[in-house]
Amino acid sequence: MSGNPHRLSADWTGRLVDRSRKISFTFDDKRFTAHPGDTLASALLANGVRLVGRSFKYHRPRGLVGIGSDEPNALVTIGVGDKLEPNLRATQVEVYDGLVASSQNRWPSLETDVGAMNSALSRFFPAGFYYKTFMWPQAFWKHVYEPVIRKAAGLGPATTQADPDRYEHAHIHCDVLVVGGGVAGLAAAKAASETGARVILAEETHRLGGSCDIGGGKIVDDAPLEWARSVADDLLASDRVTVMPRTTVISHFDHNYVLMAERVADHNPGLIAAGHPRQRLWKVRANEIIVAAGALERPLTFSDNDRPGIMLASAARGYAKRFGVSPGERVAVFTNNDDAYRTAIQLFEAGVNVPRIVDTRPGPDSSLIDQAKAVGLRMSFGSGIVGVKTVEGGKHIDGIKVAPVRTSGRLGEPEFIPCDAVAMSGGYNPAVHLFCHVGGELVFDDALQSFRPGSTTERLRVVGAANGIFNVQSILEDGFQGGEHAARASLKKRPAKAKLKAPKATQSTEGPLEPIWFVPALGAKNEGNKHFLDFQNDVTAADVELAAREGYRSVEHVKRYTTLGMATDQGKTSNINALGILSDVLDTPIPNVGTTRFRPPYTPTTLGALVGPIRGKLFQPVRRTPIQAWHEVNHAHFEPVGQWRRPYCYLRDGETIKDAVSREVLAVRNSVGLLDASTLGKIEVSGPDAAKFLDRMYTNMMSTLKPGRCRYGLMCSDQGFLMDDGVVVRLSEDRFLCHTTSGNADHIASVFEFWHQTEWPNWKVIITPVTEQWAQIAVAGPNARELLQSLDSDLDLTSDAFRFMDFKSGTLAGMPVRIFRISFSGELSYEIAVPAGYGMGLWDALLTAGERHGVDTYGTEALHVLRAEKGFIMIGDETDGTVTPLDLGLSWAVSKKKADFVGKRALELPEFHRPDRRHFVGLSTHDGNTVLPDGAQAIQINAERTSSPPLGYVSSTYFSPTLNRSIALGMISGGRDRLGQTVHFQAGERMIAAEIVDPVFYDKDGEKQNV
């Protein structure tokens, strides 16, 4: 046979493919031809490729089972290099010219797979076998067993390159979201929009109509597809409706928040080149949701039911009708229900040989069966497939053995029926997944032998086959009613009697199905270990039985012990069959056995789409100060601080980071330096009760602060731990400006609001965060005053007029400024705030004016060194959420006069006054050239190294360029009482001795900052 051996004759062109055009694709490096409209599955089938993959555990050869997103077997890898994408279902991949596909989970090739040995050894790998072995010797798990298992597991390969494609997020709201574009969904969308609602109709595939093209029957007087077409046209033309094809509703979350994944360009890479994203994640908030997701057909559980060529009956006729492809030349049908007769009839009409319909029911009777009889199809009732004959190591089937199954459970005489494919049907399961994501309760439907939706607290209803209704007339009515009711509920219209009428439909009536969870097989095959339930994960009936027998009796235990339903299809087709078996094993009805939990997403969803645009430069914003551009041009080496990126230091030619930091420190100590302090948090607190309020917020007394003065303040949590520090400025009688650390700016503002609104709501306080209004520049160093004095100003900067801790506002270099004479470096220092728009101007002006002093700019690391030399604490270094102001020797800043402040009561706990608490101290290494490592642990003098907790640790450590020796700060148990003692620190192999000293290393009397 040449070309496409399984394409049907010209009358059956396949309604979705364009046979007049050809495109080509490769599968495992072999080139094939397809037609536009083909899926990879239909194209492979058309080309006679039956073997498309290997199973997870036993590497059994596998072919197509389904036709949609429930496909368990046909997983392929699409693309190469940075576009490589594993584990796609061939049934969903739309073929485009040049598509590159490969099979997975095989080595060296799909045809000859070494892993297939596992299949021969499958008896040694029952459910849970790995829990029982691989334990000896102890070290072997990590070094021998696990690496082998890991390599063997894992389906397809992942790319190692970054994803070149773009993804989007979009938000949308609607009155009614309809999930699924089958007859039920179309009816619901039509009714909802005609009732006046804004409607979204999302459909997973690229087309509307769902399975109505293979469901038979008539709507009004036409094929259901014609009705679907006309409704679709109306919906598409309406400006109240948005129809989204190739869009899977993946997740339903609380309060009708829904995620939908739209595959925008997967079917046509040209769209990406044209500027479209590859996929788009829709975030929907729907007032009402209608799930019309249809039903999923389940396989029958017979021995060797996983062989290539054995597929679901609805899929078999779907391939014929939609793609003009036959699953085989001789296709037997195996069923426990009437729907599969449609497959037999339609295949027969398409010219395919249907040698037998094997029906487990002893004497079924319905019009469909009559139709089948009428066209001359042969049936075996009360029979099952009791054996499958394969060739080429199980890659193709050659025929089936069919035998009557007697009421005793015994088999009658088997008959061999040659065939190369089997279409099987075990009935349908309503697609209840989305209904269950937010706690929807299921009920068991005896007629369907499946679960269907019960009650939910969400505004969500289920219609059509998803609701367990399979007859077209009833589906239409269910859809219309659901749509109208949902629309009325959303629009808050009165739930009057439904006005809209569903059109009349007819469909052959079906007889009842027979629940059959295990089809006996010939001889030894009855062990159940070839009766596959979960195809992808190779879980068999025997595994389920074994699990239950070993005590894993909860359905959730069975799932986890056997891995049933845990594969990429999440057991869409197989779970109910397993429940049936479990129910029999435990002798408990299925509803009591229950089902495992349904979880989002409905189908696996690309992480790229979930992340959307939030990557690369859009991943977590970088905040920029008004002076940021200057830092960038001037070789700042940055460090992330909160969302800011602050200069750590500025690198000059040939300098190391260390050099640069020391240069910057010395510039401040010897002349003058500039720091961009714009990131500091700034909060204005005003109102008649502002002072009273800040007395509560800070441990210090703020109400005694005079207007025009600054005070260093501490803030604790009510647990007593130090949370933040900063300078508070009293701008005027009833207006304060609170500075916070950069990383805490937003947090402290909201903490203020929280206390104000929830604890003291009647106090007259107004809190205005103004961080971004101001650029702030620290001018620090002995020449700071001179530098400022060289600029035009209306302010008297002389030391008597502008004292340490004074605040003044005025103009400087023609700019409106607020100047705070505060110091975090211990030098003469001013912090100058200007409206942010002037930030760069002021920076420039200061740089220019400072030229004659050799002004330098300094970054956060120099800032750290400078403050450490002065023994100032740094929030986050000296604090870690367990440290109190008392520990830090800051009790002078903890008011004893105030009756209450946040943290006061807790600070009175005896625990915080224990003499062995860790105190903030200086650490002076005996050898001044040795810098203590960050975080080094202090060990008791003379003591043997024991496991007893260390005395404390190094919290900050630097080489001080000013003092030309190392300095360190640390938290040492009872430290303040140990001044002068020596402690030791482990640094790698070395022990470093250091003396416990006062934390202030430089200018102990504070003369420098007071000049």
Ligand X SMILES: NC(=O)c1ccc[n+]([C@@H]2O[C@H](COP(=O)([O-])OP(=O)(O)OC[C@H]3O[C@@H](n4cnc5c(N)ncnc54)[C@H](O)[C@@H]3O)[C@@H](O)[C@H]2O)c1
- Provide, rounded to whole angstroms, the least separation between the CB of residue 374 and ligand X: 19
CB of 280 or CB of 342, closer to another protein: 280
CB of 154 or CB of 355, closer to another protein: 154
- Provide, rounded to whole angstroms, the least separation between the CB of residue 611 and ligand X: 21
Environment class of 208 (CB within 10 Å of its CB; exposed 0-12, middle 13-18, buried 19+): buried
Tell me: does residue 597 bind ligand FMN (CB under 6 A). yes
707 binds, among another protein, ligand X, ligand FMN, none (CB under 5 to 8 A by kind): none
Which of 692, 912, 928, 1000 binds another protein (CB under 8 A)? It is 912
List binders of another protein among 365-424 (CB under 8 A): 382, 384, 405, 407-410
- Provide, rounded to whole angstroms, the least separation between the CB of residue 597 and ligand FMN: 4
Tell me: does residue 262 bind ligand X (CB under 6 A). no
Environment class of 651 (CB within 10 Å of its CB; exposed 0-12, middle 13-18, buried 19+): middle
**Is 674 in a helix, a strand, or coil?**
strand
Give yes or no for a contact between 386 and 404, defined as CB atoms under 8 angstroms apart: no
Give yes or no for a contact between 707 and 787, defined as CB atoms under 8 angstroms apart: no
Amino acid at 638: F
- Provide, rounded to whole angstroms, the least separation between the CB of residue 293 and another protein: 18
Please tell me the distance from the alpha carbon of residue 487 to that of residue 188, in angstroms, as a whole number: 9
Tell me: does residue 602 bind ligand X (CB under 6 A). yes
Amino acid at 340: A
Give yes or no for a contact between 99 and 106, defined as CB atoms under 8 angstroms apart: no
713 binds, among ligand X, another protein, ligand FMN, none (CB under 5 to 8 A by kind): none
Tell me: does residue 146 bind ligand FMN (CB under 6 A). no
- Provide, rounded to whole angstroms, the least separation between the CB of residue 456 and ligand FMN: 17
Environment class of 159 (CB within 10 Å of its CB; exposed 0-12, middle 13-18, buried 19+): middle
> DSSP string covering 259-293, please?
EEEEESSTT-THHHHTT--SEEEEEEEEEEEEE--
Helices (H), 854-909: 860-869, 904-907
- Provide, rounded to whole angstroms, the least separation between the CB of residue 217 and ligand X: 6
- Provide, rounded to whole angstroms, the least separation between the CB of residue 430 and ligand X: 9
CB of 620 or CB of 929, closer to another protein: 620
Please tell me the distance from the alpha carbon of residue 587 to that of residue 584, in angstroms, as a whole number: 5
215 binds, among ligand FMN, another protein, ligand X, none (CB under 5 to 8 A by kind): ligand X
- Provide, rounded to whole angstroms, the least separation between the CB of residue 844 and another protein: 7
CB of 462 or CB of 902, closer to ligand X: 462
- Provide, rounded to whole angstroms, the least separation between the CB of residue 356 and another protein: 18
Give yes or no for a contact between 968 and 956, defined as CB atoms under 8 angstroms apart: yes
Which of 111, 221, 934, 977 binds another protein (CB under 8 A)? It is 934
What is the per-residue binding string for another protein in 463-482, x denoting contact by CB under 8 A? --------------------
The residue among 422, 392, 424, 401 whose CA lies nearest residue 330 is 422
- Provide, rounded to whole angstroms, the least separation between the CB of residue 38 and ligand FMN: 30
Q: State the DSSP code for 932.
A: P
Please tell me the distance from the alpha carbon of residue 369 to that of residue 846, in angstroms, as a whole number: 95
Please tell me the distance from the alpha carbon of residue 38 to that of residue 49, in angstroms, as a whole number: 14
295 binds, among ligand FMN, another protein, ligand X, none (CB under 5 to 8 A by kind): ligand X
- Which residues are within 8 A (CB) of 588 and not within 5 positions of it... i.e. 6 or more apart? none
- Provide, rounded to whole angstroms, the least separation between the CB of residue 305 and another protein: 14
CB of 178 or CB of 748, closer to ligand X: 178
564 binds, among another protein, ligand FMN, ligand X, none (CB under 5 to 8 A by kind): none
- Provide, rounded to whole angstroms, the least separation between the CB of residue 220 and another protein: 16
What's the full length of the chain, in residues? 1011
Q: State the DSSP code for 91.
A: T
The residue among 39, 62, 67 whose CA lies nearest residue 314 is 67
362 binds, among ligand X, ligand FMN, another protein, none (CB under 5 to 8 A by kind): another protein
List binders of ligand FMN among 718-747 (CB under 6 A): none
Tell me: does residue 449 bind another protein (CB under 8 A). yes
Stated as kind and residue range, the H or E segment containing 830 is strand 829-835
List binders of ligand X among 132-191 (CB under 6 A): 179-185
| Residue of minimal Cβ distance to ligand FMN | 566
Strands (E), 67-119: 75-78, 85-89, 99-103
Please tell me the distance from the alpha carbon of residue 146 to that of residue 848, in angstroms, as a whole number: 66
With CB under 6 A as the rule, give the number of residues binding ligand FMN. Answer: 5
692 binds, among another protein, ligand X, ligand FMN, none (CB under 5 to 8 A by kind): none
Phi, psi of 912 (to 5 degrees): -80, 0
Stated as kind and residue range, the H or E segment containing 304 is none
Strands (E), 458-520: 460-462, 505-506
Tell me: does residue 504 bind ligand FMN (CB under 6 A). no
Phi, psi of 865 (to 5 degrees): -65, -45
Tell me: does residue 439 bind ligand FMN (CB under 6 A). no
242 binds, among ligand X, ligand FMN, another protein, none (CB under 5 to 8 A by kind): another protein
- Which residues are within 8 A (CB) of 206 and not within 5 positions of it... i.e. 6 or more apart? 94, 245, 246, 267
Tell me: does residue 384 bind ligand X (CB under 6 A). no
> DSSP string covering 686-749, please?
ESTTHHHHHHHHBSS--TTPPTTBEEEEEEE-TTS-EEEEEEEEEEETTEEEEEE-GGGHHHHH
CB of 198 or CB of 808, closer to another protein: 198
Tell me: does residue 566 bind ligand FMN (CB under 6 A). yes
- The region of 25-33, 291-299, 375-383, 486-494 touching ligand X under the rule CB under 6 A is 291-299
CB of 220 or CB of 618, closer to ligand X: 220
List binders of another protein among 131-160 (CB under 8 A): 131-136, 138, 141-142, 146, 149-151, 153-160
- Please name the residue that has the structure tokens 């008597």: 800
- What count of Cα atoms within 13 Å lies in the side-chain half-sphere of residue 17? 34
Please tell me the distance from the alpha carbon of residue 16 to that of residue 39, in angstroms, as a whole number: 10
294 binds, among another protein, ligand X, ligand FMN, none (CB under 5 to 8 A by kind): ligand X
Tell me: does residue 629 bind another protein (CB under 8 A). yes
List binders of ligand X among 451-510 (CB under 6 A): 464-466, 470, 472, 475, 510
Tell me: does residue 724 bind another protein (CB under 8 A). yes
Tell me: does residue 599 bind ligand FMN (CB under 6 A). yes
- The region of 428-436, 604-612, 898-906, 1003-1011 touching ligand X under the rule CB under 6 A is 428-436
The residue among 541, 336, 601, 527 whose CA lies nearest residue 450 is 336
What is the per-residue binding string for ligand X in 324-343, x denoting contact by CB under 6 A? ---------------x----
Please tell me the distance from the alpha carbon of residue 387 to that of residue 399, in angstroms, as a whole number: 9
Q: State the DSSP code for 485.
A: H
CB of 292 or CB of 865, closer to ligand X: 292
472 binds, among ligand FMN, ligand X, another protein, none (CB under 5 to 8 A by kind): ligand X
With CB under 8 A as the rule, give the number of residues binding another protein. Answer: 239
List binders of another protein among 859-878 (CB under 8 A): 860, 874-877
What tokens appear for 785 in the block? 């005053």
- Please name the residue that has the structure tokens 């949308």: 172
Residue ranges in contact with ligand FMN by CB under 6 A: 556, 566, 570, 597, 599
Residue ranges in contact with ligand X by CB under 6 A: 179-185, 202-205, 210-212, 215, 248-249, 292-295, 339, 428, 431, 434, 464-466, 470, 472, 475, 510, 602
